[in-house]
């Protein structure tokens, strides 16, 4: 069965600094990988996805993610953090065999002014 | 108007009561999902449906049932609610057709408290 691990419950970054939110996955076959963001009292919003092709994918709000097949990782990155990036971030993997979409436990990102 | 609508948004009930959470969507997607969110546990898949006649169990289906009344409607029921079903519940849709890779579109959530 597929699984997703987000090893950090919380990440603190100073505004203007680069940020990384980590994600590793386990899935049979080729992975479909996603990042979502959740703001307080809201549903999740799609940020970006990796399906195939270039290992660096770009998404909404200046976020990007790097797919690394050998390390089975899909880390979320942003070159310069904004206070408004503070939110809960979820990594997810879709198993194309049964189309289940499984989420990690989430990482709370705090951007400090 | 929201593309994925959940009702009710908030509900407080007592142990043993039957509860139904409803989800409707205007996106025309075939696939619908129910997740629950708990602090520190992330989102866990309860049930998912590929069309009206195709319903599948997720990671934590015990104590829950679902009904896909139409392409646009997917309801989650708790036949006899218990306190550890207190959580935030999300409905989501996806359309993994040609050119679409199956990202999910979420409703705003239904917060359920079981006393």
Distance CA B115, CA B85 (A): 10
Q: Averaged over B3-7, what is the pLDDT? A: 95
- Top pLDDT among A27 and A7 is at A7
Residue B112 has a pLDDT of 97
Q: What residues in A contact B96, CB-CB < 8 Å?
A: 99
Q: How far are the Cα atoms of A30, A54, A66, A80, A89 from residue A77, in angstroms, in the given order?
A: 22, 15, 8, 9, 11
- Top pLDDT among A58 and A96 is at A58
Per residue in B80-112, pLDDT tens?
999 999 999 999 999 877 556 678 999 999 999
Longest dimension (CA), chain A: 44
Compare CB distances from B107 to A32, A43, A98 and report the shortest one's residue. Answer: A43
Q: Averaged over A102-108, what is the pLDDT? A: 94
Is A82 at the interface with chain B, CB within 8 A?
no
């Amino acid at each position: 069965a597929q699984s997703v691990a987000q090893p950090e419950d919380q990440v603190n970054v100073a505004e203007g600094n680069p940020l990384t939110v980590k994600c590793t996955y386990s899935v049979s076959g080729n992975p479909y990988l996603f990042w979502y963001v959740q703001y307080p009292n809201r549903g999740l919003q799609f940020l970006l996805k990796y399906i195939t092709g270039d290992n660096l994918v770009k998404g909404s709000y200046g976020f990007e993610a790097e797919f690394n097949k050998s390390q089975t990782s899909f880390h979320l990155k942003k070159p310069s953090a904004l206070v408004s990036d503070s939110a809960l971030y979820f990594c997810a993997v879709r198993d194309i065999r049964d189309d289940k979409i499984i989420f990690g436990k989430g990482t709370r990102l705090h951007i400090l002014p | 108007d929201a593309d994925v609508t959940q009702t009710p948004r908030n509900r407080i009930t007592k142990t043993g009561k039957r509860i139904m959470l409803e989800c409707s969507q205007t996106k025309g997607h075939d696939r619908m999902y129910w997740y629950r969110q708990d602090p520190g546990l992330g989102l866990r898949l309860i049930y998912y449906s590929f069309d009206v006649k195709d319903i599948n169990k997720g990671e934590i289906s015990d104590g829950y049932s679902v009904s896909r009344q139409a392409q646009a409607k997917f309801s989650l029921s708790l036949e006899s609610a218990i306190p550890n079903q207190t959580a935030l519940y999300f409905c989501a849709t996806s359309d993994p057709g040609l050119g679409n890779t199956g990202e999910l579109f979420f409703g705003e959530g239904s917060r359920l408290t079981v006393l």
